Chains A and B, each alone.
Chain A
Amino acid sequence: MSSSSTPPPRLFEAREPVFPQRVSGWFRRLKWWLMLFTLGIYYLTPWIRWDRGVSLPDQAVLVDLANARFFFFWIEIWPHEFYFIAGLLIMAGLGLFLFTAFLGRVWCGYACPQTVWTDLFILVERWVEGDRNARIRLLRSKWGSRKWRLRVTKWIIWLLISVATGGAWVFYFSDAPTLLADLATGRAAFVAYGTIAVMTLTTLVFGGFMREQICTYACPWPRIQAAMMDEHSLNVAYRNWRGEPRGKLGKAEGDCIDCLACVNVCPQGIDIRDGEQVECITCALCIDACDNMMEKIGKPRGLIDYCALSDEENERAGQPIISVWKHVLRLRNIIYFTLWALIGVVLVVMLYIRSDFSASLTPDRNPRFVTLSDGSIRNAYDLRLSNQTGASRSFHVSIKSEDPLRLELQGQSVLDVAVPADETIHQRVYLYAKPAYLAAGSESSPVRFWIEETSTNERSFVDTIFAGDTR
Chain B
Amino acid sequence: MLNIMLVCSAGMSTSLLVSKMNKVAESRDLDVKVFAVAEADVKNNLDKVDIVLLGPQVRYLLPRMKEMMEPKGIPVEVVDTISYGTMNGEAVLNQALSMVKE
A binds B: no
A-side interface residues toward B, CB under 8 Å?
none
